[in-house]
């Protein structure tokens, strides 16, 4: 089993920055990918960014150039550096751990990010 705990969310003004952290514990292996998703009120959960087992990163078009994902495999911690935040970034951000085989996803409880003036 894998447990994920997100932290770092908060209230910021447009143009501000935040860094989210996700602490993973349990049977965590770097061969499996980790990523960030978000869900705004009244909307479906959407993909934000991922850090694959090969060490490559992918991000959604909406956050390219603004968000940076990184991973410390020794500490089993995933990060999301968010810059130039806008109101549309307001959402509950979830950490994801993707087990390759058998295919299974683990999720944290989420950390709230609110961007408002």
**What mean pLDDT do residues 5-27 have?**
97
Tell me what the pLDDT averaged over the chain comes to: 96
Count of C-beta atoms within a 10 Å radius of residue 63: 22
* pLDDT tens digits, 67-108: 999 999 889 999 999 999 999 999 999 999 999 889 999 999
Q: Specify the 3-state DSSP secondary structure of 102.
A: coil
Count of C-beta atoms within a 10 Å radius of residue 66: 15
- 10: confidence class by pLDDT, cuts 50, 70, 90: very high
> Residue 30's pLDDT is what?
85
Q: Which two tokens stand for residue 17?
A: 């920055």
> Residue 31's pLDDT is what?
86
Q: How is residue 27 annotated by DSSP? A: S
pLDDT over 90 (residue 20):
yes
* pLDDT tens digits, 25-77: 999 988 899 999 999 999 999 999 999 988 899 999 999 999 999 999 889 99
Tell me the C-alpha distance between 113 and 93, whole Å. Answer: 7
């Amino acid at each position: 089993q894998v447990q994920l705990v997100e932290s770092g969310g908060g209230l910021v003004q447009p143009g501000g920055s935040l860094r989210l952290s996700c602490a993973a514990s349990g049977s965590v292996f770097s061969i499996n990918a980790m990523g960030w998703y978000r869900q705004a009120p009244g909307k479906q959960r959407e993909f934000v960014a991922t850090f694959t087992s090969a060490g490559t990163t992918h991000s959604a078009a909406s956050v390219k150039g603004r968000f940076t994902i990184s991973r410390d495999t020794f500490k089993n911690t995933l990060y999301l550096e968010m810059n130039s935040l806008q109101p549309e970034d307001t959402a509950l951000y979830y950490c994801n751990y993707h087990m390759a085989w058998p295919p299974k996803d683990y999720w944290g409880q989420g950390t709230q990010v609110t961007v408002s003036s």
